[in-house]
Amino acid sequence: MPDISRYIRRENLPHIWCGGCGHGIVMGAVIRAIDRAGLDQDKTVVVSGIGCSSRAPGYLDFNTLHTTHGRALAFATGIKLARPELNIIVITGDGDLAAIGGNHFIHACRRNIGITTVCFNNGIYGMTSGQSSPMTPKGKLASTAPYGNIDRAFDLCELARASGATYVARSTTYHTTMLINQITKGLQRQGFSFVEALSQCPTYYGRRNRLGAGAKMMEWYRDNAVTAAAYEKLAPESRGEKFVIGEMYSTEEPEYTQEYQKIIDRLSGGGEAR
Ligand code: SF4
Ligand code: MG
């Protein structure tokens, strides 16, 4: 196993996450993927918004930015445009990314800008005590849905793919090897990569929905996550709460800052803008 302690700001520990929270597992997957992808620590930037997951960059020894709610991708876009040679990673939660940050998300995907985004999806607003998010499953309880959530949740991977992301994958805190592999692949790509990491919140989502402690919630991931091929074979009435994990989409398209650089080069050479 690689020694990943050099990526941790020990002076900022202990972390704020509750016992059994999945976010430490996802953060661990991010740094193992960075290590595996061989990124230069000093040329790597980790940007987050607001929420429990967005506290992660505070514990990571890279160039880090803890920004405003929903705006991590906007800040990250600015950094990538100014310094395209840097490796940019966004760490975000489901509320941060899919609600207030939803528009930034679809447009970052559409541009195919070279950012790897990892969404720590716990299906709830954890930091503000358990309000429903766009990722709270229909029928589940939240402080703002005490009789059951009637909203339908997004499929974030479908949204990312439809919006133009060129690498899209999903895993869980139980399937950590897969998660590390997916984030590593995302980091190795030129364009916009999106990895959705299902991560348990036992304190609010789990307790309110009587799902048990963190380990129990991870067992639920183990028992309900299936591959796309296995999901297709299931009769619709037996799919229940089963969900698909794995690589959803992978293609190559021109990366945004490289396209932008072409215009700069053309104009610097005295050419026409088009
Ligand atoms: Fe994790 Fe939920 Fe606690 Fe936030 S509130 S640290 S998401 S368990
Ligand atoms: Mg959340």
Ligand 2 centre to CA of 136 (Å) is 9
Q: What local confidence, expressed as pLDDT, does residue 269 receive?
A: 81
Ligand 1 centre to CA of 63 (Å) is 24
Q: What local confidence, expressed as pLDDT, does residue 2 receive?
A: 79
**Helix ranges, the chain (H):** 23-37, 72-82, 94-95, 102-111, 156-163, 176-188, 207-208, 214-224, 228-233, 256-268
Q: Measured between alpha carbons, how far is 207 from 217 in angstroms, rounded to an integer?
A: 10
Q: How far is CA 237 from the centre of its chain?
A: 30
Ligand nearest to C-alpha 22? 1
Structure-block tokens of residue 253: 């398209």
Nearest atom in ligand 1 to 120's CA: 7
Q: What local confidence, expressed as pLDDT, does residue 234 receive?
A: 96
CB contact at 8 A, 121 and 173: no
Q: What local confidence, expressed as pLDDT, does residue 272 receive?
A: 63
How do residues 52-101 score in pLDDT, each as one tens digit? 999 999 999 999 999 999 999 999 999 999 999 999 999 999 999 999 99
Going by C-beta distance under 8 Å and a sequence separation of 6 or more, which residues neighbour residue 14?
none
Q: What local confidence, expressed as pLDDT, does residue 181 receive?
A: 98
Ligand nearest to C-alpha 197? 2
CATH class for domain 20-268? alpha beta
Ligand 2 centre to CA of 199 (Å) is 9
Q: What local confidence, expressed as pLDDT, does residue 229 receive?
A: 97
Task: Enumerate residues lining ligand 1, CB below 6 A.
Answer: 17-18, 21, 23, 52, 122, 126-127, 201-204
Q: What local confidence, expressed as pLDDT, does residue 273 receive?
A: 57
Query: pTM of the predicted model, to two decimals?
Result: 0.97
Interstrand relation of 44-48 and 63-66 (parallel, antiparallel or unpaired): parallel
Ligand 2 centre to CA of 214 (Å) is 15
Q: What local confidence, expressed as pLDDT, does residue 1 receive?
A: 72
Structure-block tokens of residue 262: 């072409």
For residue 53, give the nearest of 106, 111, 98 by alpha carbon.
Answer: 98
Ligand nearest to C-alpha 91? 2
For atom 5 of ligand 1, which residue has the closest CA?
Answer: 126
Tens place of pLDDT per residue across the chain (274 aa): 778 999 999 999 999 999 999 999 999 999 999 999 999 999 999 999 999 999 999 999 999 999 999 999 999 999 999 999 999 999 999 999 999 999 999 999 999 999 999 999 999 999 999 999 999 999 999 999 999 999 999 999 999 999 999 999 999 999 999 999 999 999 999 999 999 999 999 999 999 999 999 999 999 999 999 999 999 999 999 999 999 999 999 999 999 999 999 999 999 986 665 5
Range 81-86 contact pairs with CB under 8 angstroms and sequence separation of 24 or more? 81/113, 81/257, 81/260, 84/114, 84/257, 84/258, 84/261, 85/43, 86/43, 86/44, 86/45
Q: Where are the domains of the chain?
A: 20-268
Ligand 2 centre to CA of 268 (Å) is 45
